[in-house]
Structure 1
Amino acid sequence: MNFNFLSPVSDMVLAHNELLPQQALGRKIRIHSKQNGIPDLDGVQLAILGVIENRNDENYIGEDFNLNEIRKSFYALFPGSWTTTIADLGDINKGETVEDTYFALKSAISVLVQKKVIPIILGGSQDLTYANYRAYDDLIPMVNIVNVDSKFDIGDSAKPIKNNSFVGKIILDQPFNLFNYSTLGYQTYFNSQEEIDLMDRLYFDAYRLGDVSKDITIVEPILRDANIVSIDLGSIKASEVSAKQRVSPNGLDGKEICAISRYAGISNKVSSLGIWEYKPSTDDEVTAMLISQIIWYFIEGVNYRVKDDDFKDADSYQKFITLVEDQELIFYKSIRTGRWWIEIPFLSEVNNKLKKHTLLPCTHQDYEDACNNNVPERWYKAFQKNCV
């Protein structure tokens, strides 16, 4: 498939790039330019992809935006001790309709994921996560989405899709490929009690801002189990971003959002990352730099991925069996990384979503809870979803 719907990185950004030191990221990545066309993807592990689409923003009043400031900030950073090759494929511009943009984004992500290239999508409104999800329709049977957001964005699926209601469409539109949806950093006062109750009834994971800020490590198993990570910049507190980006005095700080991004990168399952709701303003340097650092930490994480979830080699893991309320719980611990998993049993008599025993990432604390006769909450939710 060709990517002829992609527009190149602007000449202004490329001119700025020429002034950077040779060691800077912008001098080391393959860039889609007018002069050289779309870069060859052979050997590329990560690709930046802009989407200039915000018409389904609930507050859209016709304003345009571009991603030039983010690119300038990102190109000026220095890489870590990385072995990955990165490309910048330029932008998908607004289609004739929003559905056209969705189709272009879905097609691009599908091709990249099949080529084992991880797209890092920078965009306008977060409803584009729906197109990101649909890109997996023919790739894997069940999809896990993690949304870093102050809101659940479930909304009313009977109404047209918006950036505050796209999750309802993901849940209810066929084909039904969603297995788990998790929200990290939600703030209760931004969500109706009905939506909070619905998250509970659907056995989805939801972590409040206070819990995430108190112990950032609790999000690691959630991100280890994700295929798609969607970051809403509105989840970041106002003091960390530029004027137009400010949503709430409370939210994740710069260190927390970068830690979450790094956990997403380290996850062997995450195969696409979206950073949404970018709203440029005249004092844009802080937001552009924060987004650049979010991308940097994600790439850093990808460079430190360790294949520790293949449990065929008995020497690579330890196995622990506990009994909780007559239920046998089986835990695995990787000897290489110290990360933990718990087995979700396969129920042959139930028309379940999982077709085999599945391992759910968990924490050492979950194992300790099981030893103290407490069923880990995430195991219970996954088990219930499997029975539905």
Structure 2
Amino acid sequence: MKDLSIYFSPLDAVENPLAESLGEFIVCHDDSGFPEIDKPGIALIYVPEFRNGMQELHGETDDRFREYLYAYFPGNYWNFKIYDLGNLMPGDRVEDTYFALRQVLAELVKKSVIPLIVGGTQDLTYAMYQGYEELEQMINVLNIDSKLDLGDPELPVGKDAYVSKLLMHRPCYLFNLSVIGYQTPLVKSSEIDLFEKLFFDAVRLGEFKSDFKIAEPLLRNTDLLSIDLQSVKDSDFKGKYFSQPNGFDNQDICQIARYAGISDKLTSVGLFNLLPGNIAESAHAEIGQIIWYFIDGYSQRVGDFPIGTKKDYTRFTVFLDEINHDLIFYRSNRSERWWMEVPYPPKEGVKYERHHMVPCDKSQYTNALNGDVPNLWWKTYQKLG
């Protein structure tokens, strides 16, 4: 494993932590040295990099969320390592910070350790994505955001303009992109049209509010989760740079974090746009709780399909006249979660039919019984072509 310590500055040692609190539980990078990353788990990283979105904040830090996180108590079954690697030091150029984060993510994922990145502007998502290039791994990205953050591919990457860089990056390792929580007044119709043409998933804030469970299958299909803290309404997240009148509330983000933690597929997560500037103590306490709920979800992973075997699942077959094809669904006998089988389009010279498994919910099976081709099936089939 590469020496990751060169990228980090240590933290002050936690003095007199509460008995049985996370302050006693977390393996911290302090004056005693950099942690030995010897077991799977979660690694907390703070990245105060703001130059591609909030240049005026360069050099500032605000990681009070650690005080709250360390004072919380671990949940049941937290029998894994939690590391706090300290603060990733910004480089001389933004590109240097990107490179460092890219290297750190790739090395941690190789070790089955989930990097949980806090701080910085959301363009750091692009650096995280580049880490998967090091792994040569196709991935799905999900953004929790009030906007789509496409931006102009001809312009530099920015905190609200980085998605186009993911799309244009070569080699391409992006299979699917999803956004949950976008607000129609903040999004151009041309951006929505592009998402539809690319068969990406975009869920409006109102749709999520009507049924928050809509997020679970999307999170179960995600490798990299990027959360924009500016998508939380300002009454729940107070600070100089947080002025969203409508948006997610704190409970919503904690629920999303828990779903993300439970997802067997997810291997990295970022909480971005924690912008220094009179951030309320309650906001830092909330970040601590978001992290707590993600960790608690991680503790409840069950190793569902496709990690498990099909014998642990109940199979359902629905024939649809419209596509002259059987739709195959699987329900886990352990978690009651659903998956849908999508075939690769036939190709000349390929003898055997291959399939791609997509997380779904029971409603897609019910719709198929009523003769409707699930939109998720159709979009996935198009991307596999």
TM-score by length of 1: 0.94
> Which among 50, 63, 67 is matched to residue 68 of structure 1?
63
User: How far apart, CA to CA, are the structure 1 residues paired with 2:22 and 2:259?
Assistant: 21
Whether 1:333 aligns to 2:334 is no
Deviation string, structure 1 residues 219-267 (Cα, Å, up to 9, x no partner): 1000000000000001101100122242311000111110000000000
Deviation string, structure 1 residues 334-372 (Cα, Å, up to 9, x no partner): 1111110011102241799xx941100000000000000
Whether 1:18 aligns to 2:15 is yes
Aligned to 2:344: 346
Q: How far off is 1:138 after superposition? A: 3.4
Q: How far off is 1:310 after superposition? A: 3.7
SS in 1 for 2:43: strand
Q: How far off is 1:68 after superposition? A: 2.8
Residue type of the alignment partner of 2:379: K
Residue type of the alignment partner of 1:127: D
Structure 2, unaligned stretches of length 5 or more?
none
Distance change >3 Å, CA 298–CA 55, structure 1 → 2: same
Distance change >3 Å, CA 9–CA 282, structure 1 → 2: farther
Comparing 61-70 with 187-196, greater Cα deviation is found at: 61-70
Q: How far off is 1:73 after superposition? A: 1.4
SS in 2 for 1:47: strand
SS in 2 for 1:50: strand
For 1:133-172, list aligned pairs within 5 A: 133-172=129-168
Tell whether the 8 Å contact from 2:40 to 2:111 is kept in structure 1 after alignment.
no
User: How far apart, CA to CA, are the structure 2 residues paired with 1:62 and 1:256?
Assistant: 28
User: How far apart, CA to CA, are the structure 2 residues paired with 1:300 and 1:351?
Assistant: 47
Residue type of the alignment partner of 1:304: Q
Q: How far off is 1:140 after superposition? A: 4.4
Q: How far off is 1:216 after superposition? A: 0.6
- Aligned residues: CA RMSD: 1.8
Q: How far off is 1:63 after superposition? A: 4.4
Q: How far off is 1:286 after superposition? A: 1.3
Distance change >3 Å, CA 379–CA 111, structure 1 → 2: same
Tell whether the 8 Å contact from 1:65 to 1:279 is kept in structure 2 after alignment.
no
Comparing 233-242 with 314-323, greater Cα deviation is found at: 314-323
Residue type of the alignment partner of 2:139: V
Tell whether the 8 Å contact from 1:10 to 1:68 is kept in structure 2 after alignment.
no
Residue type of the alignment partner of 2:341: E
Residue type of the alignment partner of 2:60: F
SS in 2 for 1:262: helix
Tell whether the 8 Å contact from 1:245 to 1:287 is kept in structure 2 after alignment.
no
Aligned to 1:197: 193
Structure 1, unaligned stretches of length 5 or more?
none
TM-score by length of 2: 0.94
Q: How far off is 1:142 after superposition? A: 1.3
Aligned to 1:31: 28
Comparing 238-247 with 205-214, greater Cα deviation is found at: 238-247
Whether 1:47 aligns to 2:43 is yes
Whether 1:92 aligns to 2:88 is yes
Matched length? 379
User: How far apart, CA to CA, are the structure 2 residues paired with 1:371 and 1:279?
Assistant: 48
